[in-house]
Amino acid sequence: MDRDWIATARTLSEALPYLQRYSGAIVVVKFGGNAMGGVEEMADFARDIVLMRQVGLNPVVVHGGGPMINDLLKRLGIESRFVRGKRVTDQATVEVVEMVLTGLVNKRIVQAIMDEGGRAVGLSGKDDDLMVCEADDPELGFVGRPIEMNVQVLRDLFAAGIIPVIAPVATGMDPNETFNVNGDTAAGAIAGALKADRLLLLTDVQGVKDKDGNVVTQLSPEDVRAMIADGTIAGGMIPKVETALKALDEGVRGAVICDGRLPNATLLELFTEYGAGSIIRSTEPRVKPRGA
């Protein structure tokens, strides 16, 4: 018998405890614009999400789309400006953001999931008042911070066997307002409101690294705070780990930062012993499998 088939069968057998462990679990996956890649990479991601649903998980996809937004803004002659890693969003920019995220990017992901045999529905934070925001910082304009979450629509979709795909655009207390929400922030807020088992932040880095540049596979909140304090965690990684810590405070069991460009990253994280990135959780059984 071909050794590749034997290896495949062994892998499936070894995944069984993890499949059982996550049966019925809610997993929120933040799919960043930098991790999307081309048609083939999108199909691979969609196939993994469909498989998660087929084996009994309830996946939620929250996506970004920064590169696509930048491209359209450039073509329209609208300058992109960032403050502390967040896009300054005036009225013209928020209209472009909503157009790109809820239209182009959202429907591309929905279609990819359906092409792989799944059922998916595209939403934004505006739908059914899923995510209501207030202004995060006057300097940023229409950039929102979630203050109210209404996730019953997501639970209804789970019950119907449908995968929600969510664009991080939200309404304000004034229903005529539209806010651009950082994708990681939106994913963390949705995961917290759902008390998700896992929050997976897929990005273009391998995970949280120590002073020597090695990926740290398991961290506690105390580890993370210490690494921020001594400068080990810096730059764009800080908002990601802060999102993870807030999600844990709101009841998420574990948050993972991993490289979404890695083939089958979500499956490696959930269904193998060693995972695919850095997991942050309040209890840290260092000698037990990561699925514990």
- Binding-site residue numbers are 65-66, 87, 180
List 29's β-bridge partners, or say none. 61, 200
Q: Nearest-CA neighbor of 112 among 39, 4, 28?
A: 39
User: What's the N-to-C CA distance of the chain in angstroms?
Assistant: 34
Which residues line the annotated binding site for substrate?
65-66, 87, 180
Amino acid, res. 67: P
Residue 199 near residue 247, CB atoms below 8 Å: yes
Q: Nearest-CA neighbor of 204 among 174, 232, 183?
A: 183
Residue 188 near residue 97, CB atoms below 8 Å: no
How far apart are alpha carbons 138 and 209 in whole angstroms?
33
Q: How many CB atoms lie within 10 A of CB 213?
A: 7
Helix residue spans in the chain (DSSP H): 3-21, 39-54, 66-76, 91-99, 106-115, 152-159, 183-194, 221-229, 237-249, 265-271
How far apart are alpha carbons 29 and 61 in whole angstroms?
5
How far apart are alpha carbons 167 and 9 in whole angstroms?
37
Helix (H, G, I), strand (E, B) or coil at 212: coil
